A = this chain, B = another copy of it.
Amino acid sequence: MRRLKVTLEYDGTNFAGFQKQTGTGIRTVQGVLEESLKRLTGEDILTIGAGRTDSGVHALSQVVHLDTCSPIPLDRFPAALSGQLPPDVVALDAALVDASFHARYKAIAKRYSYLVFNSGMHQALWRNYCYRFPSSLDMVTMQKGAAVLTGEHDFMAFSAAGSSVKSTVRRIFSFNVEHQGDWVKITVTAGGFLYKMVRLMVGTLLDVGRGKLSPDQVKEILEAGERGQGGPTVPPQGLYLARVYYPGEETRDMREFP
């Protein structure tokens, strides 16, 4: 028996999120992953993911751990597993880890990217891979709003009901707003995130960008700490789990945007 850390990329469009929903027939990433592992190894393998992405949310780099007795050599494992997975999930990497490794509990940080298409015109291409926002956006004030949220804060105002956590304090390490033509990419790295925290923060920054909120008002909302005051929640298809960080890793990203 060995423990593997497997890195996955997936297109979230046709999944009802990461987490399996046993016996429901609902298509989830974890569900198809465990079915594919069964076909590959003959074993009933349980997987633990670093993050439970919602329905429609994509992953450039999701991490899971699993225990297997399979003799498949490690360097062939990603291709062998990808061969069993449907085309919208790919195994990018497999690494041998200590039995104490845990994809979720050992993660020290995660990075998410959110892709906005800032245009008044509807779109046909990439409509499942970004959020179209028609109002014109001021990048400088958006970056100021992001700076307000950076650091260690109680993010209660930017959490949605639906999960029970002991503390709503989190630390954001970096929060960047970039644009290229009509495309705006918002990238946030934090030690951890509350439920829907990224989508609530991005919704708030878009309100800042279009002049509905000031960066000072973002600070007030953060400090008041009332659930439901941050937001609105932007839709899932613009969101990408971009990286999960563990202690002592090299730093190259597996996947980049085009």
Residues of A in contact with B (beta carbons under 8 Å apart): 8-11, 58, 60, 78-79, 82, 87-90, 92, 115, 117, 121-127, 129-130, 180-183, 254-258
Min CB distance, A157 to chain B, in Å? 30
Contacts A92-B121, A124-B87, A125-B60; A130 near B258 (Cβ below 8 A)? yes
Task: Name the residue in A60, A88, A115, A125 with the highest tally of chain B Cβ atoms < 10 Å from its Cβ.
Answer: A125
A interface SS class: loop
> Which chain B residue shows the least CB distance to A122?
B90
B183–A87 CB distance below 8 A: no
Task: Name the residue in A92, A121, A180, A182 with the highest tally of chain B Cβ atoms < 10 Å from its Cβ.
Answer: A121
B82–A115 CB distance below 8 A: no
- When distances are taken between beta carbons in the complex, the residues of chain B under 8 Å from A9 are 123-125
Once bound together, how far apart are the Cα atoms of A79 and B120, in whole Å?
A: 11
